[in-house]
Amino acid sequence: MGWIGRTVVNDLRSEMFAHALKLPITFYDDTSSGNLLSRFMYNVEQVAQASTTSITTLIRDSLTLVGLFAYMFYISFQLAFIFLMVGPLVGLIIRLISTRMRKLSHTVQDSMGEVSHNVEEVIEGQKVVKLFAGQSREKGRFSRVLTNNRHQQLKFIVASATITPAVQMIAASALAGIIYLATSGALAEEISVGSFVSFIIAMTMLLPPLKRLTQVNTDLQKGIAAGESIFELLDLPAEIDTGKQAMGRAEGRVEFEQVSHRYATSNADILSDISFSVEPGTSCAFVGRSGGGKSTIIHLLTRFYDASEGVIRIDDIDIRELPLLDLRRQIALVSQDITLFNDTIAANIAYGCPDASREQVIEAARTAHALEFIERLANGFDSLIGENGVLLSGGQRQRLAIARAVLKDAPILVLDEATAALDTESERHIQQALESLMETRTTLMVAHRLSTIENADQIVVLDQGKIIERGQHQQLLDQGGAYAELCRVQFAKQRDVD
Ligand SMILES: Nc1ncnc2c1ncn2[C@@H]1O[C@H](COP(=O)(O)OP(=O)(O)O)[C@@H](O)[C@H]1O
Ligand SMILES: [Mg+2]
C-alpha cells in the first residue's frame, strides 16, 4: 500500500507538471502560484491517502459487513430484515454529511492555497516589506489567512465528527429495537435461544467495521475533493498548437496585418488595426508612452496570446499555422522582466542551447558585454546567481539575458527594453556589439532611450494601441510630430544630466 501511495503521488505530480508546462500564459495570468503550489503539495498527498489506507479499510470492512449480514439473514430472516431497514437512514445521513465534507474540503484546500500564496509573496517581497515597514501588516494578513484556514479545518472536523456517532446511534437503536422485540415475546416462538445469541453477537460485531467505514469516509471525501481539483487542472485545455506547417530556420520577414487585440480582462482594444512589415535583416523600433501596447505586440508575435483580429506572418506564413515549437525557435527575446534560474552563469546563458560549448558561451557573454563582470566573480562562469539572479545587479541580469538570446542564434531578435537597466555607456557598447548580429537578423526593439534607435530602419510610434507615426529617425524629426516631441524632451533631459 505504501508503494502504491508513493507511486500515485509520483504519477500525479509528474502528470500535473507536464500539463502545467503546456498551459497557456492566460492560465498563469489568473492563477496564483501559491494556489498552484498547494495543489502540487497538499492535494496530491490527500489523494494518496485516500487511495491507499482508506481503500484497504474500505475493502476489508465492507467484506466483513457483507459476511455478517449474510450470517444474520441465515439465522433469522425477520430480525435481519428489521436491522436492514435502518440501512437507508444510515445511507442518507452518510450521503448528506459526505456532500458537506467534500464542499468543506474544497474550501480547506483553497485556504491552504492562500496560506502558501501568502508565504510566497512575503518571501519574494522581503525588501519591499522591510523598507515600507510592512511587517505588522503582513503578520496581520497572515494571521487572518491562518484563522480562516483553521476555521475551515474545524468546520470539516465537526462534520466528520458527527457522522460516526450518528451512524453508531442509529445502529445501536436498531439493536435495542431487536432486543426489545425478542424479549417482549413477539418473536419468542420463531427463534431459539442459541440463534438469538448468535444474532446479537453478529450484530455487535457489526459496529466496529461500521465505525471504521464511516471514519474512512472522511479521508475518502478529502481525497475525492483533492482529486477533483487536480483533475480540473489536468483537464484545462493546453496552449492551442494545431499548426502543421513545419519551419526550419526562417528568413525572418515579420508582418502584422490589421492586428487588433484585447486581453480577456480589458474592456477596450489594447491594439487596434496595427499593420507593419519588417524585411529580413532590417530593424524596426517601437516607441511610445508606457502602456501604449509595445510589449503586447511582442506577446502576440510569440503567441503568448493570440491576436483577437488580424494576421501575423513570419516569412509569409500565418504564425497560427506553425507548430509553437517551430515558431518560438525563430525568436530570441530579451524582455522587460528577466527570468534567470538558480544555477550557474554558464547554465543560464546556455539555457536554450544546452549543447553549446564553453567557447560559444564565452563568445555570447562577450557580445552582451557581460564578460567583464563575469570574470570578476570568484567562480567566473560557474558562479551561482541565486534565485532569479538575486546575487546580480539589474544591469548584470540584463546582460545575461542578452547573452542568452545571442547564443540562441534565432533569425528574429526581439529586444523589449532590453537595455533599460544599463547605463548609457554599457548600452552603447551592447548596441555596437549587437549591430553585427542585427545585420543578419530581423530585429524588433522597444526602447525607452531614443538614442539607441536612431539607426533603426523604421520607427513605429504607438499611442494607445494605434500607430500614429512611422518612418526613419530624421524623417520623423522633420515631420515635427509626436516623435520629434519625444526626442526633444529626452535630449533636453539628457543635456541637463550632462
Ligand atoms: N496580461 C495582460 N492582461 C490584461 N491586460 C494587459 C496584460 N498585459 C498588458 N495589459 C494591458 O495592456 C496595455 C498595454 O500594455 P503593454 O503592451 O505592456 O504596454 P507597453 O509595453 O507599451 O508599456 C496596458 O494598459 C496593460 O494594462
Ligand atoms: Mg512594455
Cα 330 to Cα 21, 104, 314, 373: the distances in Å are 20, 48, 9, 29
Contact 462/288 with Cβ under 8 angstroms?
yes
- The neighbour count for residue 296, using CB atoms within 10 Å, is 23
Q: Is 465's C-beta closer than 6 angstroms to any atom of ligand 1?
A: no
Q: What is the pLDDT of residue 89?
A: 87
Q: What is the pLDDT of residue 421?
A: 75
State pLDDT tens for residues 95-110.
Answer: 899 999 999 999 999 9
Burial 373-385 (b: 16+ CB within 10 A, else e): bbeebeeebebeb
CB within 8 Å of 270: residues ≥ 6 apart = 261, 262, 263, 293, 296, 465
Q: Is 294's C-beta closer than 6 angstroms to any atom of ligand 1?
A: yes
230: amino acid identity, one letter: I
State pLDDT tens for residues 13-32.
Answer: 999 999 999 999 999 999 98
Ligand 1: residue of 266, 289, 304 to mutate (most ligand atoms within 8 A of CB) is 266
Q: Which domains does the chain have, with CATH numbers?
A: 2-235 (1.20.1560.10), 254-497 (3.40.50.300)
48-60 mean pLDDT:
86
Q: What is the pLDDT of residue 495?
A: 67
Contact 334/399 with Cβ under 8 angstroms?
no
Report which of 440, 470, 435, 441 is spatially closest to residue 455, judged by C-alpha positions: 435
Ligand 2 mean position to 351 CA, how many Å?
A: 23
Q: Residues with Cβ within 5 Å of ion ligand 2?
A: 295
Which DSSP string do the residues of 339-406 spell out, in sequence order?
Answer: ---SSBHHHHHTTT-TT--HHHHHHHHHHTT-HHHHHHSTTGGG-B--GGGTTS-HHHHHHHHHHHHH
Q: What is the pLDDT of residue 432?
A: 75
Q: Is 73's C-beta closer than 6 angstroms to any atom of ligand 1?
A: no
What the block records as the C-alpha cell of 139 is: 503578520
Ligand 1: residue of 286, 295, 467 to mutate (most ligand atoms within 8 A of CB) is 295
State pLDDT tens for residues 243-293.
Answer: 899 998 989 999 999 999 999 888 889 999 999 999 999 999 999 888 889
Ligand 1 mean position to 439 CA, how many Å?
A: 30
**115 vs 155: CA distance, rounded Å:** 18
Question: With left for phi above 0 and alpha for psi between -120 and 50, is residue 220 left, alpha or beta?
Answer: alpha
State pLDDT tens for residues 309-341.
Answer: 999 999 999 999 999 999 999 999 998 888 999
Rg (Cα) of the chain, in Å, rounded?
Answer: 34
State pLDDT tens for residues 364-396.
Answer: 999 888 888 899 988 889 999 888 888 888 888
Place 175 in a pLDDT band, splitting at 50, 70 and 90. confident
Q: Which burial class, exposed, middle or buried, applies to 409 when counting CB atoms under 10 A from its CB (0-12, 13-18, 19+)?
A: middle
CB within 8 Å of 205: residues ≥ 6 apart = 68
- The neighbour count for residue 242, using CB atoms within 10 Å, is 8
Place 188 in a pLDDT band, splitting at 50, 70 and 90. low
Atom of ligand 1 nearest to the CA of 416: 21
Crossing angle of helices 193-235 and 135-183, in 10° steps, is 150
Q: Is 272's C-beta closer than 6 angstroms to any atom of ligand 1?
A: no
Which ligand lies nearest the alpha carbon of 290? 1
- pLDDT greater than 70 at residue 187: no
